[in-house]
Amino acid sequence: MKKIAKPLILICLILIIDQLIKIYVKTHFFIGEEIKVLGLDWFRIHFLENKGMAFGMSFGDVAGKFILTFARIVLSVLIFVYMYKLVNKGEKKLIIYSFALVFAGAVGNIIDCLFYGVVFNASTPFRLATMFPSEGGYAPFFFGKVVDMFYFPLINTTFPEWLPLVGGSKFRFFNAIFNFADASITIGVILLVVSYAFLKPKSSEAEQKPVD
């Protein structure tokens, strides 16, 4: 149990930060409202909600939403079980913490899907959402929307007129709006790719170790 304690602490910390940010934005911003952080044009808080995947993408209607949320739950359970096995095997900490980041991010968005429709009323451009409204939430259990807010339009320019096909059109990077849980998943996946590409897992080392 001691071996899993630190990964669990990391998971809990990510979930707390993620939910505190989401609850604050949900209850203090109108849908679509945007502010520039410290006056910076490339770092903004832009409140929106999505019904489906990460970074504001969507996946089908009601059936698609149900399938996606259910798949997230199943995948999260599998990730945690695998991470627990790695901990017991004494796998490298970077790999274990990478899985913890992915798991925490997935659970963070699952919480939105499961509970936010019940806990909050609908956010609109004209009304702030409140927790536990007397009239009830905006959606049934399992059908809540994921709260997104981080927006980093690092490059905002226009393609030169002389370029074929795209000349004169606007170009913006990075145009996706995401949340803390999405960032945790992304960082975890990147670290896993780096870990498995450049660090040999301990299980592989044990297999290749010659027997005396």
Tell me the average pLDDT across 146-151. Answer: 96
Q: Which of 18, 41, 61, 148 is catalytic?
A: 148
Number of domains in the chain: 1
Tell me the average pLDDT across 53-66. Answer: 65
| The predicted structure's pLDDT at residue 38 | 94
Q: Which domain holds residue 26?
A: 2-35+49-147+180-208
Residue 153 lies in a domain: no
Residue 40 lies in a domain: no
Q: Which of 61, 112, 182, 212 is catalytic?
A: 182
Active site annotation includes 41: no
Environment class of 4 (CB within 10 Å of its CB; exposed 0-12, middle 13-18, buried 19+): middle
Task: Tell how strand 146-151 and strand 44-50 pair up.
Answer: antiparallel
pLDDT higher than 90, residue 103: yes
